[in-house]
Structure 1
């Protein structure tokens, strides 16, 4: 017993030869680290979201397999009935189904937020001396990469199936950029639900109840002129309709000013309304 105790004491003395003065010098910093800027903090949390995709690549299933399935299914199911042939229908459908797919996968932002809350990660974030919205903005920046991947996958499949945008590369690029801006703003709704609801299943359930009417009651599949008058009133004022029409027009080589402005206006309203609500919930959570 005495031998073991003596050995342990000797090892402790060898491993920790620290005097009181040297320990005080280590604990008392001479210069306080500079607080990171809002942009730096947001990009850091955005990189964290990208790393989560790297370590769990299964998260990319919804931005690869799901868009491909959507394009193939709707084109070959409805193409002959609605436009005479799938090749003709995909010219109208692809921009709309692109909007639909990206808007639908925005709900996973709320799921990620809710999962981190359940794991206690947010408690650590709240203690950091950073710009408070940086955590939420980081989620959205990371998801913007997923939206971009989904857009590239769907456009590649569409080109193979015969989609030919008259607007060329500039029109496609402008359409995707507008969609990313709207999706970034739309995702603030799900961050709010991710903070407000208690389980990720609840977040997904509520998200689907909101997304399905907005996407299916729009001009994604057919033109509003073919719908009953009472339904046209909702469809024509649906934000998804404005975005789909704007993206379709840009890819066709036009510049639908009204639809672009409506899309940007809806994006601004979504951020102005749900951004402060989300941050209030985050500060009180």
Structure 2
């Protein structure tokens, strides 16, 4: 496990003036410096663990590809898009947002696994920034999410999907997808610190599945029963999916609800609200862990 600088390295060198190497003394660098350094150490450790577990990489990257092929070729011929349009064009932004949404379970599993092995207790015993465990986990998961999104996009291009809205709009759509994933990372960290073990974290699938299914990710809300369509339209997943479709230039099939007509705005608002709620909860939960 990668370690962070110990307490002796953070003591100021004796005597006045600059440090012998000409730089600032460790304590003079301030808390911001050490918070970033600790965050980087936790991020690097998490990414190193991914490299040492190829089976986890295959599962995380392979499942989205399998889902694309399954929905696109097995169910695609039976699905209709209200207002017309190719279902695969409609499907791909939904698959992107589904992958980003389901990723919070990977975050929760990684956090609860570290907690069960005593890694988080070791972190808490070290002279490191309390925010580093949460922020480092978030940075590492965002890197992995970007890799997942890139591989999924290449798969989509291989089966004929195209982003017709232009390069700048497509970059904005991918940015919204990563923004949603970033906000859900804090949900995963909070849940990972809350559930007792990895088996319980696996049970979070029962939460993630309806959240992604009752949305516009795979089916237009207008095709659902009235009350269910309303719930799906106001689902944060739906806002990001609809906004991504608009930016990619793919079929949207909106139902006319206010939240659907302002999908781009809500794709920014929902992740912001989720972050403002769950990031403090995750940090507070970490700080309250028993020593």
Are residue 242 (structure 1) and residue 243 (structure 2) matched?
Answer: no
Aligned equivalent of 1:8: none
Are residue 221 (structure 1) and residue 218 (structure 2) matched?
Answer: yes
Aligned equivalent of 2:275: 271
Aligned equivalent of 1:53: 50
Aligned equivalent of 1:12: none
Runs of 4+ in structure 1 over 6 Å off: none
Aligned equivalent of 1:190: 188
Are residue 282 (structure 1) and residue 286 (structure 2) matched?
Answer: yes
Q: CA deviation at 1:130?
A: 2.9
Are residue 71 (structure 1) and residue 64 (structure 2) matched?
Answer: no
Aligned equivalent of 1:136: 134
* Corresponding residue to 1:168 among 163, 166, 169: 166
Are residue 211 (structure 1) and residue 208 (structure 2) matched?
Answer: yes
Q: CA deviation at 1:58?
A: 2.0
Aligned length: 256
Tell me the TM-score normalized by structure 2: 0.81
Q: CA deviation at 1:261?
A: 2.0
Alignment partner of 1:106: what SS?
Answer: helix
Kept after mapping to 2: 8 A contact 1:171/1:253? no
Tell me the TM-score normalized by structure 1: 0.83
* Corresponding residue to 1:38 among 30, 35, 55: 35
Alignment partner of 1:221: what SS?
Answer: coil
Alignment of 1:83-98 (within 5 A): 83=80, 88-98=86-96
Larger radius of gyration: 1
Which runs of 5 or more residues in structure 1 are unaligned?
1-27
Cα distance in structure 2, aligned partners of 1:257 and 1:145: 31
Q: CA deviation at 1:109?
A: 0.7
Which runs of 5 or more residues in structure 2 are unaligned?
1-10, 15-24, 252-259
Kept after mapping to 2: 8 A contact 1:225/1:232? yes
Task: Show CA shifts across 1:246-269 (max 9, x none).
Answer: 111111189x98222212211111
Are residue 259 (structure 1) and residue 252 (structure 2) matched?
Answer: no
Structural RMSD (CA): 2.4
Alignment partner of 2:86: what SS?
Answer: helix
Alignment partner of 1:132: what SS?
Answer: coil
Kept after mapping to 2: 8 A contact 1:63/1:147? no
Alignment of 1:96-111 (within 5 A): 96-111=94-109
Cα distance in structure 1, aligned partners of 2:230 and 2:222: 11
Aligned equivalent of 1:24: none
Kept after mapping to 1: 8 A contact 2:89/2:250? no
